[in-house]
Structure 1
């Protein structure tokens, strides 16, 4: 561990030992006492040796299994997986107009993600539909995800009752024994910064650990409001919350698959809001990745995050900054990697398509150079000498798609007569979206399983008829 990271680590251990973390859950507090952790009221104080002992029990890599095995993923090491937006209640259209998200939007994003080769994970709270009841909203979304996609599953928020329903649904689809031995769903567990974990979050942790399902411990400290104004202080605080969460997860069940999540950034001190599209966010992403790798724990961070209010120049440059840093740091799971606007507050179909272009460009950049024999072209250059004509060469025809990235929406060459750049770009974006939706093919789900799921959800008074 280099000196910078060591200083953050030591500061985090000091925070955990002297300030402690509040856990609003009697069962968790009782368990911590039994494990030898000092507890005073609702606050637990972890010694450095306790933290360092328990986080070593977390697996360095783990798999998540899709209904269709071709989408199975491995999290950890040098692999990177992408997931789309998460949690937004608003849709912003191409003109910047805002409306409440609907369940139809959720279904459309399920289809777009299912069609996109960048994603092996689908579902979660892609948008927060306003036209379904807030009670048990995520189980309705999970039912839709199971019906419309066969990729790995992203989980949703909720307390013990909702998580039990989710696990019952997965029992029906996969069987309890299979579920216990092959992780199927990821849950994002957000600490309440500074230094607190609420009951719903801890209920989810207990149940997911019992089933062996992976959890992502993710603080979102904002420098200047919920954390110190210094980015180093915010990182120390965030790291303390993550280490506490990972420690508790391993105390509940040794070997529980966990991810080190980092959503921290700076606050915009002019408004008090979050600053997602900022250099400070990128710094947090980078240092989170480096700390996670030192601990030997899979890492979640980054995305095409931005603070823009519409598809715009701002949304492009802020998104590229964050996703490029996340990919360069070999982040294992990048959520919010397509579609988000307005500091995670909104989703946009147009931004989703633009972000696919960004992902394609970044992936090509990180492929780097192929310097194998023949790639340097010495013989070819000699054969052409001082003249042009490489475009006619057989190697050009064979390798052009491998060596050069071909954009699908970026404007190249001359514009059609009478077209404006803005309208032509929007036309290409919309054409790509419609093409993807038209090509969508619904994966098969056993009619018997579908019937059992519907009957179970009906017994819980959860809506399923809204599906088309």
Structure 2
């Protein structure tokens, strides 16, 4: 990471010899370009994973989770069908609490795929979920936005569409995501239709479905069938969906209802305990991992009761809280350890893994946001995460989707993608021809190998300013947030929607109109 000062001096001399002003102008032109770079495919990790638990530790947590499942149990609330399924599978059902014989959940999970493809309407954008793949998806769920004019306000459907467009244009975002923000200007019972349509119309990347009610999940599946065709949806996974456990140790009727809809239709679910350690799980890493594993085992096994073979992910969202205020904290050591341990447990179960993102409690895109997000994102990659929700745009503990933060985050995602490629040991990567050509005491700037590789040798940030103080000053002394703001505006101005068959678009719009006409507006 550290630069050799002598080499830097030589490089500076060489730049000035070629004409500093011309180089600066070229860099300014590149930064001012309206559009993003070439779309990246999902990541195929070539770097080792980081593991914090040895065999003894993993076995201990697994045994403790089995004890939780058998002795304490998990509640499946207000869903008689779920309780009937569990009773039929051999579980001990006492009221709404289900006690699981040792090994039952693990046996059921064996039918779930360890790797599957989520298909996009553009086949080139389809992604692998599981194995050595990592997929970045945007922020999910905030009711507020921090807009390009610096205002913190409730999100609108226009904001929602804007974030879908930015995610579509972002080279390092592989997935359109789901509730990129909550558009409060649309009725609660109808907004899912506009949200799902936005993903389908304004992007051709994979997307997530609605989970806020079973009927909204049904609408999502119906719209997917219009987009992809009935037969394709029946035989392939085209939607992935977030099913949160109501931690500690509860699944409610809303999440269960949505999970049943998607599992029955062979669509993927992410079973995710939503943990603020100290409030919704024990304060210790081992205790939190025990509860996370128990909740995931119960939820993932349930999807296999509904339909054996339905895709399901081992999810975890683990944060800590301030023991002084009770507020969630991010980028701290303990949730990092939970992510690493949960990744190990997921791989032992043979399930794809979801965690992490670019998380922060910061209110704006400041140093706190950068540090906390970087800490979270780095551990997300090294944990071997397959599906990364909240990869870009998250602010204020998940209450806010930030435009500037989104642009700053996708720049970091591109860096992570480059890092995940690992070390190039090809003939070109070894660079022996360059070493021979340059020899002692010279520099590599003008050698043949450098000239052949200079455009792709190093990741080029679209946000960072690495120029001299004089250049930075001459260009307006802009902060990172200002550059991110300008970039977001240029992208939105230059956005062009991916083509969609007019007949399919008409079918989707007709379905939405009929569904909206079938019910009165509701805002609660």
Q: Shorter-chain-normalised TM-score: which range?
A: over 0.9
Q: Deviations over 1:215-254 (max 9, x none)?
A: 0000012221111111211111111000000111111111
Structure 2 alignment gaps of length 5 or more:
1-53, 519-524
Deviates more, 1:8-17 or 1:364-373: 364-373
| Distance in 1 of aligned mates of 2:308 and 2:433 | 58
SS of 1:187's partner is: strand
Query: 1:275 offset after TM fit, Å?
Result: 1.9
Q: 1:443 aligns to what?
A: 498
Q: 2:58 aligns to what?
A: 5
Q: 2:6 aligns to what?
A: none
Deviates more, 1:99-108 or 1:427-436: 427-436
Contact 1:302 1:326 in 2 (8 A): yes
Q: Which among 227, 250, 261 is matched to residue 196 of structure 1?
A: 250
Within the alignment, does 1:337 sit opposite 2:391 as a pair?
A: yes
Query: 1:316 offset after TM fit, Å?
Result: 0.5
| Distance in 2 of aligned mates of 1:417 and 1:53 | 61
Q: 2:39 aligns to what?
A: none
Q: Which among 145, 156, 161 is matched to residue 102 of structure 1?
A: 156
| Distance in 2 of aligned mates of 1:379 and 1:454 | 59
| Distance in 1 of aligned mates of 2:428 and 2:495 | 40
| Distance in 2 of aligned mates of 1:376 and 1:267 | 47
| Distance in 2 of aligned mates of 1:33 and 1:102 | 44
Within the alignment, does 1:19 sit opposite 2:19 as a pair?
A: no
Q: Which among 417, 434, 437 is matched to residue 383 of structure 1?
A: 437
Structure 1 alignment gaps of length 5 or more:
464-468
Q: Which among 193, 204, 212 is matched to residue 158 of structure 1?
A: 212
Deviates more, 1:189-198 or 1:420-429: 420-429
Q: 1:180 aligns to what?
A: 234
Q: 1:459 aligns to what?
A: 514
Contact 2:177 2:389 in 1 (8 A): no
Q: Which among 445, 460, 467 is matched to residue 406 of structure 1?
A: 460
Query: 1:366 offset after TM fit, Å?
Result: 2.8
Query: 1:440 offset after TM fit, Å?
Result: 2.1
Contact 1:85 1:338 in 2 (8 A): yes
What TM-score comes out, normalization by structure 2 length?
0.85
The 1:178–1:374 alpha-carbon spacing in structure 2 relative to 1, beyond 3 Å, is closer
Contact 2:83 2:98 in 1 (8 A): yes
Deviates more, 1:210-219 or 1:171-180: 171-180
| Distance in 1 of aligned mates of 2:59 and 2:234 | 36
The 1:119–1:360 alpha-carbon spacing in structure 2 relative to 1, beyond 3 Å, is closer
The total of aligned residue pairs comes to: 463
Contact 1:124 1:138 in 2 (8 A): no
Alignment of 1:196-345 (within 5 A): 196-345=250-399
Query: 1:84 offset after TM fit, Å?
Result: 0.5
What TM-score comes out, normalization by structure 1 length?
0.94
Q: 1:466 aligns to what?
A: none
Q: 1:425 aligns to what?
A: 480
Contact 2:165 2:492 in 1 (8 A): yes
Within the alignment, does 1:142 sit opposite 2:200 as a pair?
A: no
| Distance in 1 of aligned mates of 2:517 and 2:458 | 49
Deviates more, 1:404-413 or 1:296-305: 404-413
RMSD, aligned α-carbons = 1.9
Deviates more, 1:196-205 or 1:409-418: 409-418
The 1:173–1:392 alpha-carbon spacing in structure 2 relative to 1, beyond 3 Å, is same
Query: 1:124 offset after TM fit, Å?
Result: 1.2
Query: 1:432 offset after TM fit, Å?
Result: 2.1
The 1:143–1:175 alpha-carbon spacing in structure 2 relative to 1, beyond 3 Å, is same
Contact 2:434 2:449 in 1 (8 A): no
Displaced runs of 4+ in structure 1, greater than 6 A?
none
